[in-house]
Structure 1
C-alpha cells in the first residue's frame, strides 16, 4: 500500500471541517499556499419550525468569514483524510463549487484513487477551466474590490442589481455522495457573472445594509490539463452531506460586522492634558510619559517662586474613554500672579483708574486726583458720570464742581451709553444695582 505522505502536501494548513462528517475539509488559500485569516461565523443557519430540511441544512452547513485584500489570487483546497472511513460507502465524492453564485467546477474523489493513495485525497482548484482537450485553458481566481456610486435608477433596475449582488462575496462548496456516472463530456460553466473592471462599480443603494467589499474576477487564460470530468452521476438522497460556505470581506468590513474586534489606536499617547492614575490602566510607556510631564511641571513651579494655579488632568483607559481623575499644580507666571493678587485685593468695591495719567509724579496732580476720589466716595449710592479722559495738566477744571448725578431710569430699561452707570427702577435686589458696560478692568 502506498504511503499517505506521498499524496498529501504537508505544507498546506488544515482546513475547515464539519462535525457530522469528519475527515472532509475545505479552505481558501493564497498562491504561496497559506490560508487566509478565517473566523467562524457567530450565526447559525435559520431553522424553520416544522421544516426538516432547514434543520438538516443548519447542522450540515459550516460558515466561515475570511479577510481578503484587493487583486489577490486565491485557490480552493479540498481534502479527504482520516478519520473519514477507509472504506467509502459510495463510488465517488462530488465537490460542487460555486463562486459568487456561478458554477465553477466539480472535483471528484474517486473511490479507486482514494484507496490507491493510502485512503487520502486532495485537490487544489485555482481557476475556472474552460474548453476541453488541447484547447482547455484556465483563468485564475482573484479577489477584486467593489466600487460604489450614487447613481439613481428605477425601482425595477435597482431590484435587478440587488438580486445579482445577493450571492457575491461568497464561495459555496457542496459535497455529495454519488454512484455510477459516465466519464467525459462538457462542463457547463461560464466566465459570465464574474467581476471585471467594467462591472465592478455598483450603486450604493444595491449594497445598503450589507458589508460587502469584494467580488471574484478572472485573470488572463493559459493552457492547462482539464482533469477528470464525470456526468450523469446519481446523488445519494439528492442532499449534500456537507456545505462549506466562505464569506470573504475586507478587514474593515469584518470589523463593521463585529467579526473582528476593533483594536485601540496604538499611536495614541499622553499629552499635557492626559495623565495618570494607578487604576487608569495605562501602559508602561504612557505612564512614563505622564511621570516625566509631572516632573517638568514641579520643576517649573519650584524655580519660578510664584504661586500656581490648578489644572484638571484627565486620563484615557484602554477603550478610549476619558476619565477625570485629579487636579495637579501648574506653574503660574509672576505677571499672572500679580494680576490675581490685585484682583483679589480689589474684590467687592469699585476702583477708579485714570487711564490718561502720565508718569510725571508731581505732588499737585496727586492731590487733585485724591480730591476727585473723595468726591466720588462722598457720592456713593448715587449714579455718577465720570470723565475718564481728563487731561493730566488740570487746566480749565473746576475743582469745586460736584459730580453730575444721573436721575433714575424712567423706562426701566438699561441705557446703552457706554459712559453711564444707571440704576433701574424697582425693588431692591440681591445683586449689585450699578451696572455698566465693562468700563473698569483690573490690570
Structure 2
C-alpha cells in the first residue's frame, strides 16, 4: 500500500482480481535526494512528494497482446489477460483542510479518470469510522445511457526485430517510455461545479495486433503494457470541474506504480533470484565407517581394491572418490585414478619411521594426519619392504 509519511491516511493501491498486488520499494527513487536533471522548482517539489513503488503482475498474466488473431481492440487475447483496478482511500488521521481532494489518474501516460473526495462526505464517514474508498476499473467514454467502459488489463509486450525504420523506432521509444507506469496525482481543490469532460482516449492504448521494435525497448526491463477489454455499458458517475488550490504543479502527493512481471523484477534485482541447485560433494569427514562400507560394495568399480589393507580414514576417502565418479564428476581414466589411490594407500601404510632411541614405530605422517617431529641429529630408517608392486622397479636391482 503506497503512502506518503507526511500525509498519513491517503493511500492508493493497484488491485487484480480484487486483491492488492505485491509492492516493492523503488530503490532508485529517494525523495530526500535530488537527482541530476531536475532544474525547475516544480520538478524539485514533485520529486519530494512522489511515492514510487514496483508492483508485481500476477503470474496468470501470460497471454501476450498479440497471442491471438486480431483485427483491432477488444480481442480474445486482451480478454484473457487479468484485469486490474486503481483503488484510492482517505481515512484518519488525515484531516481535510480543503473543500475536496482531487485524484488525477493516468495509465501508461494516458489520462483515464478524475475522482473527488468531498470534505462533507468524508467527515460523515469519519463519524462512522468508515474510510472514503473509490475504485477505477477502466476507461469510460460517452455520457448517460451511452456511457461505455473498457476494463484495464495487463498485456504482455510482443517484440519484433523486423522493424528497421528509424522514425518508427523513435516514435515507439517515446511511447514505451511511459508504458508500464500508473500515476495518481492528489491535489487540494475548491468545491467546483458539476459537469465537465474527462480527458481519456481509448485509442491511445496498446492494441492486440501491435508489436514493439526490440530497439525501442533497448535498456528497458519492461514486460507488460495496458490493453483494454471489450466495451461494456456502465454508469458514468459524477463529473466535476474544480480548480487547484496550490496550483497544478504542486500536488499534495504523487503516487507512481511501475508494474512489471516477476521475471522482470528479478532481472532488475528488485526481487531476489532463486539460486540454482548445485551438487554438493561430500567430505570424507561427513561419511561414517558404515556408510563408506556400504558404498564400497564389491563390483566393477572397486573389484581390484583390497580394502583390508587401508585404514578407516583411507576407506572413507576412496568411498568419496567412487561416489563422485558415480555422479559423473570424474576426469580422465577412472581405472588410472583407482590404481593411483591403491598405490598411495599402500605406500602410506609401508612408510614407517623407526626411532633408534626408543624402538617405537610412528606413522611418518604422525597421528591424526599431522607431520611427525623427528629430533635433530637422530637417525631414521624407512622400511620400504612392503612397497606396492610396480613402485620398486627402480630399486629391485640395486642390492
Question: Which TM-score band (shorter chain)?
Answer: 0.5 to 0.7
2:196 aligned with 1:196, yes or no? no
Match of 1:95 in 2: 103
Inter-CA distance 346–30: structure 2 relative to 1 (3 Å threshold)? same
Question: 1:325-368 deviations in whole A, cap 9, x for unaligned?
Answer: xxxxx9959xx99xxx999369669xxxxxxxxxxxxxxxxxxx
User: Paired residue for 2:26?
Assistant: 41
The 8 Å contact of residues 99 and 170 in structure 1, kept in 2 or not, is answered as yes
Once the two structures are TM-superposed, the CA of residue 180 in structure 1 deviates from its matched residue by: 3.4
Shift of the alpha carbon at 1:314? 11
Alignment match of 2:84 (pick from 64, 74, 82):
74
Residue 50 of structure 1 deviates from its aligned partner by 6.6
Over 3 Å counting, the alpha-carbon distance change for 1:146 and 1:314 in structure 2 is: farther
How far apart, CA to CA, are the structure 2 residues paired with 1:57 and 1:313? 66
Taking the TM superposition and a 5 Å limit, the aligned residue runs for 1:194-343 are 194-199=205-210, 201-238=211-248, 239-265=250-276, 268=277, 270=279, 274-276=281-283, 294=292, 296-300=294-298, 304=303, 306-307=305-306
Q: 2:93 aligns with which of 83, 103, 114?
A: 83
Q: Does the CA-based 8 Å contact 1:47-1:55 persist in structure 2?
A: no
Partner-residue secondary structure (3-state), 1:176? strand
Determine which of 36, 41, 57 is the counterpart of 1:52: 41
Measured after TM superposition, the shift of residue 275 of structure 1 is 2.2
Contact 2:118 2:191 in 1 (8 A): no
Which TM-score applies when normalising by structure 2? 0.66
Quote how far apart the aligned CAs of 1:297 are. 2.4
Larger Rg over CA atoms: 1
CA contact 2:149–2:231 (8 Å) conserved in 1? yes
Q: Which residue of 2 aligns with 1:179?
A: 190
Structure 2 equivalent of residue 160 of structure 1: 171
2:188 and 2:245 in contact (8 A); partners too: yes
Alpha-carbon distance change, 101 to 292 in structure 1, aligned in 2, over 3 angstroms: farther
How far apart are the structure 1 equivalents of 2:266 and 2:293? 40
Deviations 1:116-151 (A, max 9, x none): 222631101111111111111211111010011112
Count of matched residue pairs:
300
**Partner of 1:118: helix, strand, or coil?**
helix
Other-structure match for 2:54: 65
Contact 2:92 2:126 (8 Å CA) reproduced? no
Structure 2 vs 1, CA of residues 269 and 53 (structure 1 numbering), >3 Å: closer, same or farther? same
Structure 2 residues not aligned, in runs of 5+: 62-80, 308-316, 325-335, 344-386
Q: Does 1:110 align with 2:118?
A: yes
**Distance across 2 between alignment mates of 1:295 and 1:122:** 70
Cα distance in structure 1, aligned partners of 2:238 and 2:289? 70
Q: 1:331 to 1:347 in 2, by over 3 A?
A: closer
Residues 100 and 189, structure 2, Cα contact 8 Å, conserved in 1: yes
Tell me the SS of whatever aligns to 1:344: coil
Q: Matched residue of 1:117: which SS?
A: helix
CA-based RMSD: 3.6
- Looking at structure 2, the residues matched to 237 and 167 of structure 1 have their Cα atoms a distance apart, in angstroms, of 24
Compute the displacement of 1:295 (Å). 5.5
Scaled by the length of structure 1, the TM-score of the pair is 0.60
Deviation at 1:306, TM superposition (A): 1.9
Which of residues 144, 148, 153 in structure 2 aligns to 1:137? 148
CA contact (8 A) 1:304 1:331 kept: no
Where in structure 1 do 4 or more consecutive aligned residues deviate above 4 Å?
48-51, 290-295, 299-305, 307-315, 330-333, 345-349
Equivalent residue of 2:257, what SS? strand
Show the counterpart of 2:360. Answer: none
Which of residues 126, 131, 139 is equivalent to 2:137? 126
- Give the whole-Å Cα distance in 2 for the aligned partners of 1:124 and 1:151: 40
Q: Secondary structure at the match of 2:123?
A: helix
Inter-partner Cα distance in structure 2 for 1:294 and 1:125: 67
Tell me, yes or no, if the aligned pair for 2:91 and 2:126 is still in contact at 8 Å. Answer: no
Map of 1:344 onto structure 2: 390
What CA distance in whole angstroms lies between the structure 2 residues aligned with 1:127 and 1:188?
13
